Each structure stands twice: as C-alpha cells, then as structure tokens.
A and B are shown apart, each in its own frame.
Chain A
Amino acid sequence: ILNVEQSPQSLHVQEGDSTNFTCSFPSSNFYALHWYRWETAKSPEALFVMTLNGDEKKKGRISATLNTKEGYSYLYIKGSQPEDSATYLCAFSDSWGKLQFGAGTQVVVTP
C-alpha cells in the first residue's frame, strides 16, 4: 500500500486570497496523479490527470503542478471564491487505473 499524503488537512481562506496545498506520493513507479474536487453531499469531480514530470494544468482559477522526481504536486487556487469551498483529493494511479487517494485538504473560503 502506497502512502499518499496531503497537507494541510484543512485551511481557511478569505475570499479573494490565493492559496495552495500539497500532495506527496512515492516517486518510484509513477504512472499518473489525479486531482478531484469533492463538495459536501456530492460526488468527487475530476480536476486534472497529470502524467509527465513538470506538467502544469489549469482550469479557470485552479492550477496544478507535478514533480515526479521528488514525488509532489501542488494545487493552487487563485482569488478564492466561496464556491471553491470543498475537499480537494489527490490520488496516485497505477497502470491499471487503480487510485490510491490521500485523505484530502478541506478548503473553506469565507466571504
């Protein structure tokens, strides 16, 4: 069983501020890293699937970077809005698409 760790566990952000948080994973046998956004009482929704070292992905105000050599990925939220409040999950994928999830970073954006 791999160790996928996310930090911090939770964070509070003022509306308009930018923030970022980390996902660390084993750097050996890397296949892909997934990021999901999970709102309360809903299902996880995919944000990014990243496969290459140095990959940078962007969707609106949310972006992510990937460093497979050192085993970490950052997720950035620029100009946080209340609708960004959610738990953000990262998951390490093997070649079969089996995901090992981290415990998530809960983001609360206050107006």
Chain B
Amino acid sequence: DAGITQSPRYKITETGRQVTLMCHQTWSHSYMFWYRQDLGHGLRLIYYSAAADITDKGEVPDGYVVSRSKTENFPLTLESATRSQTSVYFCASSEDSYNEQFFGPGTRLTVL
C-alpha cells in the first residue's frame, strides 16, 4: 500500500522491556520524524532523520533510539520502557525540510 504506515497500531508492554515501533513510507521521502502526543504538550518531536544514516535528536529524545539504514524505514526503539513513555506515537515524512509532513496512523503504546 502506498503511503506511510506504522506497526503495531497498539502495544501493551511492561516497564523495563525493549519495544520497537516501526514506520514505513513508500514515497522515498528524504525526511522522517517521530513525534509523541502528550496531554498539555500536543505533539513533541522525539527524533528526526534527513536521509538514510542521518539522524538527530528532537525535543524529547531521552530513552529512545532510532536508526535509518534504508530510506523507507525509520524504527523507534524504547530501550527500557517506562510508564512515562505511555503515549501515542506518530511517524511522519516529508520530501524536503520545507514541505508539509505526512503523518502515519499512530501507535498507541501503554507501558504498565
């Protein structure tokens, strides 16, 4: 399917476990982003990537790791999940730094 997809859509895990959220886009967009949705804060940027093998921190990167070995994939890993990481995570992509971003459907993560 064309577009941007995220998997899983829902995930329940326990404190201390490692979790990986997947993001895949079919447009060959250079830029990809991970956001989390938090009450009172709206959407906050976790990490972004300007191209394969180029990543950098956003506003709230602590506790997260990203990689981008292929243009189309941008996985987000929570190394040791904490309850404060319970959130809805959105992946987005854009053609260039000045273009609109296209958002995936989101992954709802609950850390018990």
Report the separation of the CA atoms of residues A49 and B98 in the bound assembly, to the nearest whole angstrom: 8
Chain B residues with CB under 8 Å of A95's CB are 97
Chain B residues with CB under 8 Å of A20's CB are none
Q: Does A26 contact B (CB under 8 A)?
A: no
Report, as a range, how many residues of chain B touch the other chain.
Answer: 20 to 34
* In the complex, chain B residues 25-71 whose Cβ is within 8 Å of any chain A Cβ: 31, 33, 35, 40-45, 48, 50, 56, 58-59
Q: Is the CB of B98 within 8 A of A1?
A: no
Chain B residues with CB under 8 Å of A43's CB are 90, 103-106
Q: Is the CB of A51 within 8 A of B42?
A: no
Q: Is the CB of B98 within 8 A of A102?
A: no
Most buried by A among B33, B43, B45: B43
- Given A1-B59, A44-B90, verify A99-B42 contact (CB < 8 Å): no
Q: Is the CB of A46 within 8 A of B97?
A: no
Q: Does A103 contact B (CB under 8 A)?
A: yes
Q: Does A30 contact B (CB under 8 A)?
A: no
Report the separation of the CA atoms of residues A52 and B101 in the bound assembly, to the nearest whole angstrom: 18
Chain A residues with CB under 8 Å of B105's CB are 42-43
Name B's A-contacting residues (CB within 8 A): 31, 33, 35, 40-45, 48, 50, 56, 58-59, 90, 94, 96-106
